[in-house]
Structure 1
Amino acid sequence: MNFSAPIVLENSRVRLRPLEIGDFDALKAVAFDAELWRYTLTRGDDAVSLAAYVRQAVEAREQGLRYPFAIIDRASGQIIGSTSYYNVSETDQRISIGYTWVGAKFQRTGLNRAAKHLLLSHAFGQLSCERVELETDSRNNKSREAMLRMGATEEGTLRSHRPTQGGIRRDTVIFSVIKPEWSELRQSVFQEFEVRG
């Protein structure tokens, strides 16, 4: 995966484009909500932590570790959150989707699912992946339910997997979607985002 190339993905609901330092002001409108960051590895619910979050995401892209996107609601043109590719393994044809957060008023609207549609389509298509992984804190029931609703398979829990906020070592629940499942998911869970023609 070429981390220096601009990747722009779009469907009927959302547009994903590379996250940039200049997105800080637009993100402030949706990020300053402590509940959004409750189970994340870092925080972004005030100016200092959000600036650090954006800077770290952009630096990780420059280092080839993570490809962060801004999620834009096409109806309003507003940036509503962010998501990323990471843990890229071209040898194993595997990639992870994560670091995803969406402003509270845009949750349960289908916009996160629309963003996942774009990321999965690109991963299984242009990136020739055989497997896409997603992970979340085991305490984050809302995230776990969302992954199941989009057709991902829960594979298990990695105990004491990563350090998280407050000096806690979190248990991480791993989900995946594999390439043979993608055709069926495109016609069911993600059908509304598929281009007809």
Structure 2
Amino acid sequence: MAFVEPVTLRSRGIALVPLSLAHEEGLRSAAADGELWRLRVTSVPEPQETRAYIETALAGREAGQRFAFAVTDEATGTVLGSTSFHDILPAVKRVEIGYTWYAKRCQRTHVNTTCKLLMMGHAFDTLGCHVVGWRTDNYNHASQRAIERLGAHKDGVIRGHALRRDGTIRDTVMYSLRSGEWPEVRAHLLYLLDKPRPSRGGE
């Protein structure tokens, strides 16, 4: 039995659905909103690479290393982006959350906060994880701010850790949250989601 079993997570009009080849066109359309593949510090697939992106994610799921979701609008089924549990370590009950991206129109709305609340809730409350981790490019300052807003602890920087899509070598910033910190973080995320916000949102 896999540590992360297939599941659909729902809240506030968002549904995280196990990623499949049926989401290919939806993912391609979501990435086209903002031409997100042009950002050198993200993992968003170029249009012609969308199917291979999904196949790679499914291979990771088969190997028990990654479980990818399509982020969808619950009412319409429209694909808004993607996110994953990855670097899944059942023996120590640790997962990381990453491979996360959203169509430009969804950025700085409630979507990311809702997805993180759903995924952390599943990791800590259902899977019984001790730790949830994140990693990001040292130049992806927006991602670092978003992770820090969640209440995650910055563990450090792994230098010369991975290749970017343009062939340069990146340093990776590592973050984590322990299970004992989750109740306070959950309360904070619910507060952010429930507070009044401008039309474009704040988190």
- Scaled by the length of structure 2, the TM-score of the pair is 0.87
Q: Report percent identity of matched pairs.
A: 34
Deviation at 1:189? Answer: 2.1
- Relative distance call for 1:36 and 1:79 in structure 2 (3 A) is farther
Q: Partner letter of residue 39 of structure 1? A: V
Q: Aligned partners of 1:179, 1:36: CA distance in 2, in Å?
A: 36
Counterpart contact for 1:13–1:111, Cα < 8 Å: no
8 Å Cα contact 1:73-1:111 kept in structure 2: no
Instruction: Name the SS of the counterpart of 2:126 in structure 1.
Output: coil
Find out whether 1:38 has 2:40 as its counterpart: yes
Give the equivalent residue in structure 2 for 1:11. 11
Residue 148 of structure 1: CA displacement? 1.0
Q: Who is 1:155 aligned against?
A: 155
CA deviation after TM superposition for structure 1 residue 50, in Å: 1.5
Go from structure 1 to structure 2 and tell me whether the alpha carbon gap of 1:9 and 1:34 turns closer, same or farther (over 3 Å shift): closer
Name the aligned partner's letter for residue 135 of structure 1: R
Structure-2 separation of matches of 1:89 and 1:65: 8
- Cα distance per residue 1:168-195 (max 9 Å; x no partner): 111000111111111111111234669x
SS in 2 for 1:30: helix
Find the aligned partners of 1:137 and 1:179 in 2 and give their Cα distance: 25
In 2, the alpha carbon distance for the partners of 1:27 and 1:34 equals 11
Query: What is the letter of the counterpart of residue 80 of structure 1?
Result: L
Q: Which residue of 2 aligns with 1:142?
A: 142
The alignment covers a number of residue pairs equal to 192
Asked if 2 retains the 8 angstrom alpha-carbon contact of 1:13 and 1:114, the reply is no
Query: Kindly tell me: are residues 189 and 114 of structure 1, through their superposed partners in 2, closer, same or farther at Cα, counting changes over 3 Å?
Result: same
* RMSD over equivalenced CA pairs, Å: 2.0
Distance in structure 1 (CA, Å) of the matches to 2:161 and 2:119:
25
Q: CA deviation at 1:64?
A: 1.7
Counterparts of 1:155-174 in structure 2, within 5 Å, are 155-174=155-174
Query: Aligned pair in 2 of structure 1 residues 155, 36: CA closer, same or farther (>3 Å)?
Result: farther
Q: Which blocks of at least 5 consecutive residues in structure 1 are unaligned? A: none
CA distance in 1, matches of 2:144, 2:89: 24
Deviation at 1:143, TM superposition (A): 0.5
